[in-house]
Amino acid sequence: MKKHILSIIVENNAGVLARVSSLFGRRGYNIDSLTVSETHNPGTSNITLTVTGDDAILEQIIKQLEKLLEVISVKHLSDNSALSRELLLIKIRIDTATRAELREISQIYEASIVDLAPTSMMIELTGTTQKIDAFLLNLQSYPILEMCRTGVTALERDSAVK
């Protein structure tokens, strides 16, 4: 079982996201992450999602997606052909002792401290899924007050296209 990234260009119509996501639910497939945004063309949106499965499951998902009328294109983005990123916002309870520690960890991961209050610090980190997972692993011993993490967003590299 492997994680796969799909980039789906759809017509920007009401309900299209519900139709795409319900396709997964009806077939018992789980969406690991999902991001949606309008493209450079206001008439289309890009749905980037990750799903776990073998090649047969991936092939079935792509075939089902291509049957939806509002789907313009479906691309399977491999690690070699795509650039992917996530965004993390995390608010951590701090005191005078932990403030410096968290600042140091943030610098190592090139994260930004975007808000600082006497009892909390909010940190922003953009990077690969692996980078964000490693950052969170280093924050396990600190009291996390709130956390919000986007799903993967990705684009195919021109340099990787043959």
Q: What's the mean pLDDT in 133-153?
A: 96
Architecture of domain 83-156: 2-Layer Sandwich (3.30)
Domain positions in the chain are: 2-77, 83-156
Residue 27 pLDDT grade (very low, low, confident, very high; cuts 50, 70, 90): confident
Beta strands in 107-152 (DSSP E): 112-116, 120-127, 144-149
* This prediction's pTM: 0.83
CA–CA gap between residue 142 and residue 90 (Å, rounded): 11
> Residues 107-124: what's their mean pLDDT?
97
Tell me whether the CATH fold assigned to 2-77 matches the one assigned to 83-156.
yes
Q: Work out the pLDDT band at 43, boundaries 50, 70, 90.
A: very high
User: How confident is the model over 49-89, as pLDDT tens digits?
Assistant: 999 989 998 999 999 999 999 999 999 998 788 999 999 99
Q: If you search the block for the tokens 């999602």, which residue do you land on?
A: 49
Structure-block tokens of residue 111: 């994260």
**pLDDT computed for residue 158 by the predictor:** 84
> Right CATH number for 2-77 from 3.40.50.300, 3.90.550.10, 3.30.70.260, 3.90.1150.10?
3.30.70.260
